[in-house]
A and B are shown apart, each in its own frame.
Chain A
Amino acid sequence: MREGSATAGSLLEFRDLHKSFGRSEVLHGVDFRVARGEKVCIVGPSGSGKTTLLRCLNLLVEPTRGQLYYKGEQIGSWPGGARVGLSGYRSRIGMVFQHFELFPHLTALQNLTLGPRHVRHEGRSAAEARALQLLRHVGLEAFANAHPRTLSGGQKQRVAIARALAMQPDLILFDEPTSALDSEMVDEVLELMRRLANEGMTMVIVTHELGFARDVADRIVVMERGAVVEEGPAETMFSAARSQRTRDILRVGVKR
């Protein structure tokens, strides 16, 4: 088994990641890393393993093989397992889901304070003050006491992003954050994500929004059939990708 250490400067890194569901392997030895402050966009056709990769990064699913490093420290090595508590590790990494996954029994404000209060054990008033500030940041202060079912898709996703931010994460993983939105709501979410990017947030974004990826990404990772086909700086990937397959994917985008 390859042991070694993380690449210098990487915030999060997975080496030689394999993931099988039952007998079928869906990730075949992916190397993935993201540096502090870096924006990485992952693109690729449906079923290529993008979601599974993201979920392995925060250990929502158990990897089958590979080594995971976080801030230079080995978090786990598979087969084997994690070396650290999953809760503490996951609390440092935000996640934004395609279908929002707001908690329907809680108000927008309570969605934001749940993690800070019950994971970080912050006091109620401090957590609420910060949550309100974040809701203002995403333009939804007026909806603090609204339940998710009363919000539009775009509003839900902005609350979901604020919920991730409320944990003051070191990075945020986005899994097709605009794919479930009606087209008129896509921009408000992308706009917010652009702002986060400008504020220096480390972001890993699975997306089919190539224009956004081109603007925001420092690096583009192209996946197909459980492997990384090609990766590189956004400028060169869009203008001078090595493989024809990458050029196809980046030209036409990908059907969902």
Chain B
Amino acid sequence: MSATVADLLRGGVVTLKIASGAWVVSAVLGLALAVLQDLGLAPVKIFQASLTITLRSVPQLVILYLLYFGLGAVGIQINSILAAILALGVADAAFTAEYYRAGFMTVPWTQREAGFSLGLSRMGVLMRVVVPQTIPFVVPPLLNSFVGLLKTATLAAAVGAPEILYRGQNAMSRTGEIVLVVTIIMGLYVVVTMPLTRAVAVMERRLRSYAHS
């Protein structure tokens, strides 16, 4: 029992690692996509629109297979954890980009004009005027997406990453204690996720009163 718990905890750490890594990839790539879209360069737009549609319609698991086995097939070997971080992060970025874009829209155009009138470039205005004002609005959805990634991180079991579900499945077949293992996993998830969703709720409430003040 305690050995099983210790093993699941170690798996939980790997899950956290995958989710955090994917979250960073998603936050950075999503921002890049949103900025490119805002700058509105025609070729980028087309590339980006097709990328977004692809990322949104294809299941994350397929993207994970593509990265892990696809790269392997062309001779690039990456470990399963890294593959999961990249695949889940890239897949999530299509959604994260939309959070940023919605955030950009909360910043009045006149703020951009104030930046332009100082001589800032479009990129300068975005990075120094628009994005910083957007941050409070994107933190709650980004935290939500982290909670989502904690769950989708279990997909990494499919490529053999030793995360929580992978270890759980092993423990179930080793000990036959299916209910126990599932309960422990659920418990761990609730313990990690609850404070996060609470934090999001509090932040959203603060943002609402801030936006109305």
Contacts and interface: CB of A to CB of B under 8 A. Distances in A.
State whether these chains interact. yes
Interface of A: 55, 58, 60, 86-95, 97, 99, 101-105, 114-115, 118-120, 163-164, 167
Interface in B94-127: 110-111, 113-121, 124
B133 A167 contact: no
A47 to B, nearest CB: 18
B132 interface: yes
B129 interface: yes
Given A91-B118, A103-B115, 12 more contacts: A87-B119, A87-B124, A88-B119, A90-B117, A91-B119, A95-B113, A95-B114, A97-B110, A103-B114, A105-B132, A114-B115, A118-B128
B120 A95 contact: no
Given A104-B133, A105-B132, A118-B124, A60 B118 contact: no
Contacts of B114: 95, 97, 101-103
B4 to A, nearest CB: 49
B110 A101 contact: yes
A103 B111 contact: yes
Interface in B64-120: 110-111, 113-120
Interface of B: 110-111, 113-121, 124, 128-129, 132-133
Contacts of B117: 58, 60, 90, 93-95, 164
Contacts of A115: 118-120
Given A105-B132, A105-B133, A119 B120 contact: yes
B96 to A, nearest CB: 21
B118 A101 contact: no
A93 B133 CA distance: 25
A94 B119 CA distance: 9
Nearest to B108: A101
Helix, strand, loop or mixed for chain B's interface?
helix
A99 B110 contact: yes
B118 A114 contact: yes
Contacts of B119: 87-92, 115, 119-120, 167
A140 B111 CA distance: 22
16 contacts: A86-B116, A87-B124, A88-B119, A90-B117, A91-B118, A91-B119, A94-B117, A95-B113, A99-B110, A102-B114, A103-B115, A114-B115, A115-B118, A118-B124, A119-B120, A163-B118
B120 A101 contact: no
A99 B114 CA distance: 11
A164 B114 CA distance: 10
A140 B117 CA distance: 23
A93 B121 CA distance: 15
A32 B123 CA distance: 31
A101 B129 CA distance: 11
Contacts of B120: 87, 114-115, 118-119
Contacts of B132: 105
Contacts of A103: 111, 114-115, 129, 133
Residue from A92, A93, A119, A167 having most chain B Cβ neighbours under 10 A: A119
A119 B124 CA distance: 9
